[in-house]
């Protein structure tokens, strides 16, 4: 499969969401909801439209919007990191550990999971308007008047389905997403994975369980037996 061709074909299909080359068809949702009402906004159509533009601008290189690129980079990287956390989580489940210990106190893994929960299940965030995106530590917004979505906010509203729903986001025009410091997060992920690896490799019961689920016996030739270990 030629990925260059695949990319161009996907781009061609995705851009059908932009029949006039500028506005996406999500704007139709905005139009029917706003109708002839003056001084009215609709966040549903607008948020779909912004997300379509994010993919169009950054994945398909249709625009060099640096604000969009910051968001695209942060959210894409966070989801890749979450793939690691999800695999670790699967191992803990296979070892039949309780929910309380399945992440085994790995703080960065937990933080990454929170961000993934928010990105996958935005809840009332979908009903807010004109979000801003900043990086951890940036002093670019009025924190007294803005609703800041950061780790503390995610812990309160996005840890599980039982959390208090973030109803203050509904029709909120002062929402700021404060992405974590990705260098800090990457450093923490490496340390957490080292701890996870050390735990697995030093626990006889865990090793036996992993062998049960993950080992496959097969015959190898002498040539393969002499080959260097990958």
Question: Given this model, what pLDDT does residue 209 score?
Answer: 82
Q: What is the DSSP letter of 106?
A: -
Domain boundary among 47, 64, 81: 64
Domain count, the chain: 2
Q: Do 94 and 131 fall into the same domain?
A: yes
Q: 14: exposed, middle or buried (C-beta count within 10 Å: 0-12, 13-18, 19+)? A: middle
| Cβ atoms of 145 and 174 closer than 8 Å | yes
pLDDT score at 104: 63
For the chain, state the CA radius of gyration. 23
For residue 64, CA distances in Å to 111, 177, 178, 217 come to 30, 21, 22, 51
The Cα-based distances of 57 to 53, 64, 65, 66, 76 in angstroms read 6, 7, 7, 10, 14
Give me the pLDDT at residue 101, please: 56
Cα 35 to Cα 3, 43, 135, distances in angstroms: 42, 14, 36
Domain check: are 117 and 79 in the same one? yes
Per DSSP, the three-state class of 216 is coil
Of the residues 10, 31, 64, which one is the last residue of a structural domain?
A: 64
Answer whether residue 52 is part of any domain. Answer: yes
Q: Is residue 9 part of a domain?
A: yes
* 10-residue stretch averages of pLDDT, the chain, 230 residues long: 89 94 88 72 84 90 74 95 92 69 78 97 93 89 89 95 92 94 95 89 83 76 62
Domain enclosing residue 41, as ranges: 1-64
- Has residue 47 been placed in a domain? yes
Q: How far apart are CA 123 and CA 213, in angstroms?
A: 36
In angstroms, the Cα distances linking 202 to 106, 195, 205, 206, 225 are 17, 11, 9, 8, 27
Same domain (yes/no): 191, 135:
yes
Percent helix, strand and coil across the chain, each to the nearest 5: 60, 5, 35
Phi, psi for 125 (deg, rounded to 5): -55, -30
Assess whether 124 and 191 both reside in one domain.
yes
**55 and 120 share a domain?**
no
Same domain, 119 and 183: yes
Residue 180 belongs to some domain of the structure: yes
Question: Are 152 and 38 in the same domain?
Answer: no
Those residues whose C-beta lies under 8 Å from the C-beta of residue 167, and which sit 6 or more positions away, are: 124
Do 44 and 76 have their domain in common? Answer: no
Question: Which residues lie closer than 8 Å to 158 by C-beta, 6 or more apart?
Answer: 114, 117, 118, 121, 123, 166
Do 94 and 178 have their domain in common? yes
Do 27 and 114 sit in the same domain of this protein? no
Co-location of 72 and 94 in the same domain: yes
């Amino acid at each position: 499969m030629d990925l260059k061709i695949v990319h161009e074909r996907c781009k061609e299909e995705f851009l059908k969401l932009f029949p006039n080359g500028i506005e996406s068809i999500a704007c139709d949702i905005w139009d029917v909801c706003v109708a002839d009402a003056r001084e009215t906004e609709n966040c549903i159509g607008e948020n779909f439209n912004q997300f379509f533009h994010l993919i169009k601008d950054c994945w398909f290189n249709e625009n060099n919007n640096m604000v969009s690129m910051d968001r695209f980079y942060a959210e894409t990287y966070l989801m890749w990191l979450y793939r690691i956390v999800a695999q670790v989580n699967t191992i803990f489940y296979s070892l039949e550990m309780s929910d309380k210990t399945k992440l085994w106190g790995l703080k960065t893994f937990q933080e990454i999971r929170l961000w993934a929960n928010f990105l996958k299940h935005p809840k009332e965030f979908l009903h807010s308007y004109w979000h801003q995106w900043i990086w951890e530590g940036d002093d670019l917004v009025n924190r007294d008047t803005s609703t800041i979505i950061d780790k503390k906010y995610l812990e309160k509203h996005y840890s599980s389905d039982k959390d208090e729903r973030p109803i203050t986001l509904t029709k909120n025009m002062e929402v700021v997403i404060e992405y974590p410091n990705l260098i800090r997060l990457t450093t923490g992920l490496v340390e957490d994975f080292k701890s996870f690896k050390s735990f697995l490799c030093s626990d006889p019961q865990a090793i036996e369980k992993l062998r049960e689920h993950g080992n496959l016996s097969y015959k190898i030739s002498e040539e393969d037996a002499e080959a260097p270990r990958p």
